[in-house]
Structure 1
């Protein structure tokens, strides 16, 4: 099809053509960045925690008044919980993934290092904490019983640490972390004895996505007063049953506590990512609304053009143009306008992403989102103009001529 007649017509209808171009350009810019943000949210929600989420439950407690020996009560609690029917492992922990509150420490490779190599979260708990969470060791071993300290001991002399694979790769790229030492709590070296595949932070805060798995575990016995998180691992089908039995067992063991929360780790994940989920759905709604508005705008302007150019259509039909040629004429016209708008929109999308990167520390927009947005708007434009174009193609030559 000849492009020159189409361009000539568009020059005579500059305002309407410009409106469609601007509408498509803005839609392209917004949709490309919205799809990118939705993808980021979905990727964030899909991150693994390292734990057996469908098997772990948490009972969070706090004390009433002050106990003379909270560590002894905690040890008694752990023993009682391990005897609850259905419980495979049980341990107290200072924090839990998806729990928002996070214990963080700088990690150095030398004792005199001025600036920390990275910031990591620190998990503390008993001998069963690793098994309770269901963490997978990929290198090394678990803590030996003689490596455990009490929180009241000199924790500046921690003998061993288990770290995540992500943390090991950051600290010792291209090397095995086993047997190497890090410096965190105090000036004494802490030997890496194990590496787990994954272990998520309870809350990454403003540290960025890279720090999500900068986690380590110290062999330090704590009391419920330091965290109050009792974790139990059981079969997925028995989680509710085990939670109720665990709460009853804790209440029997010591009445001087308040049960704050009882929930599964899956419920904690759902709550933790609720804002991300809401944001993703909001962006989906914005994209759908924007596409509908854009389609209605194209339909409205295309219908207006068909009405304004009835005589021109009739003349072309009288000169031998077929319905298919008239249809392709309007589709080609829309394709040209959409292409101009998309090119401008992709430039705006990239510029908007640079602004978001600067203001909100978002990653760079992957180029794959630009052609995705372009294809979506090309298809939308062709579908939107199809109705008016078919009406134009259906105009009889005689009727078009009499309407002059």
Structure 2
């Protein structure tokens, strides 16, 4: 068995080099482990389901003008015409688009009065076609009926008597009850205005992908009586792009308005998570760069050590040391340096994560990232030192003993 004493004495004669590599490993570990955690967290966020049929859904804006433009009549005519098109599953006028970055939010509370805190949620104003147009699954309760739908004018501050909320919101409002038991219960908006929960849907995300309450949403049975409105259209599978052009041409026949901002939900998802994607790419580049730099540092130190100790290696070979003994010597030496580095790195990793949690409001890192990071950095060190160590085994005993 290889004695650790000679290795420690050899390292003591080259303290600076070993210390620099250990410090480099420590900082590399702290950055890589936290980067991997952030990459995983951001990638999971980009995969969250919005709750709607994204692949087959698009939306557009209609802005009317002129003294003879009737918002209410135009909206109803538009919806009837769009819904009648072959290939259209359903369509709805809506005030906001999920995961788009812009929309409405309010707060609901289980007790009336300004002294009670409300729970924030996104508000989507739809009619009785909203569930099918958005492909939402009704878990409990009932959908809106045509008689529930009202017209909301500019400046209106009151709310309908009925709402449909997500399962996540039901669990937030009534954590002690099963979500199905919340149907029929009364909640309050604007501090004192009562609303009855008539239904629970499985999932519908808010427009703001970075919001802590992204799963909290409600449907309000309303049409917006405005000249500038937005329509969301769901199509049969594979017909979205075809019908985007068809719907635009259909609505453009009314010359008293402008049709614009037509986008697919796929496009919206890509745009909304563009920051996440950019961060993942940047952090991936940082991880690769740091891994290469650290590996090169280990290779450089090992190569320097081999060149300085050629005579020592030759003597050991002449005294009977095998190639495996020489290889093991340098591998163990590097492992000792790496162990010091990853132990310090574990402390730095925890400290950096605490800073990131406070600065970026990310969730604390799971404990298992640290031992995995320690094992990974030690493995990288062993792989990096293998080349120089293997080269040391090729030193001939006779040649080495003649080296001055």
**TM-score in same-fold range (> 0.5):** yes
Secondary structure of residue in 1 paired with 2:282:
helix
CA drift at 1:42:
0.3
Question: Aligned-pair distance for 1:131?
Answer: 0.9
1:266 aligns with 2:266: yes
For 1:77, the equivalent position in structure 2 comes to 78
**What's the secondary structure of 2:103's corresponding residue?**
coil
CA contact (8 A) 1:317 1:397 kept: yes
1:88 aligns with 2:89: yes
Which deviations, in whole Å up to 9, do the C-alpha atoms of 1:277-306 show, x marking residues without a partner? 111011111100110011111111110000
Deviation at 1:356, TM superposition (A): 1.2
Q: Deviations over 1:5-30 (max 9, x none)?
A: 21121111101100110110010000
The CA distance in 1 between the partners of 2:132 and 2:310, in whole Å, is 77
Contact 1:117 1:171 (8 Å CA) reproduced: no
TM superposition shift of 1:72: 1.8
What does 1:89-238 align with in structure 2 at a 5 Å threshold?
89-152=90-153, 156-175=158-177, 176-185=181-190, 187-204=192-209, 207-208=211-212, 211-223=213-225, 225=227, 228-238=229-239
TM-score by length of 1: 0.95
**Superimposed CA distance per residue, residues 115-160 of structure 1 (whole angstroms, 9 cap, x where no aligned partner):** 4331111000222112101011111111122221111397635121
Which of 279-288 and 260-269 deviates more? 260-269
Give TM-score scaled by structure 2 length.
Answer: 0.95
Matching of residue 352 in structure 1 with residue 364 in structure 2 = no
TM-superposed CA distance for 1:39, in Å, is: 0.8
The structural deviation recorded for 1:224 is: 5.3
In the other structure, the counterpart of 2:362 is: 362
**Which residue of the partner structure matches residue 390 of structure 1?**
390
1:25 aligns with 2:61: no
* Aligned: 1:314 with 2:353: no
Task: Report matched runs for 1:233-382 at 5 Å.
Answer: 233-252=234-253, 254-382=254-382
Unaligned ranges ≥5, structure 2: none
Q: 1:66 to 1:261 in 2, by over 3 A?
A: farther
* CA distance in structure 2 between the partners assigned to 1:269 and 1:39 by the alignment: 18
Moved over 6 A (4+): none
Note the residue ranges of structure 1 that are not aligned, 5 or more in a row. none
Identify the range of structure 1 (286-295 vs 104-113) with the bigger mean alpha-carbon deviation: 104-113
Matched residue, 1:57: 58
User: Size of the alignment, in residue pairs?
Assistant: 399
Q: Distance in 2 between matches of 1:36 and 1:46?
A: 16
- For the residue of structure 2 that corresponds to 1:104, the secondary structure is strand
- Hey, what's the Cα distance between the residues in 2 that align with 1:64 and 1:269? 31
- Partner SS state of residue 200, structure 2: strand
Q: CA deviation at 1:69?
A: 2.6
Q: What SS does structure 1 have at the residue aligned with 2:88?
A: coil
Partner of 2:388: helix, strand, or coil? helix
| SS of residue paired to 1:156 | coil
**For each residue in 1:76-114, what CA deviation from the matched residue of structure 2 results, as whole angstroms up to 9, or x when unmatched?**
111111122211101110000122112011111111142
Cα gap change, 1:224 to 1:7, in 2 (>3 Å): farther
Offset, 1:65: 5.1
Q: Is the 8 A contact 2:65 2:227 kept in 1?
A: no
Q: What CA distance in whole angstroms lies between the structure 2 residues aligned with 1:277 and 1:270?
A: 9
Residue 48 of structure 1: aligned partner: 49
- CA distance in 2: counterparts of 1:148 and 1:30, whole angstroms: 54
* SS at structure 2 position matched to 1:183: strand
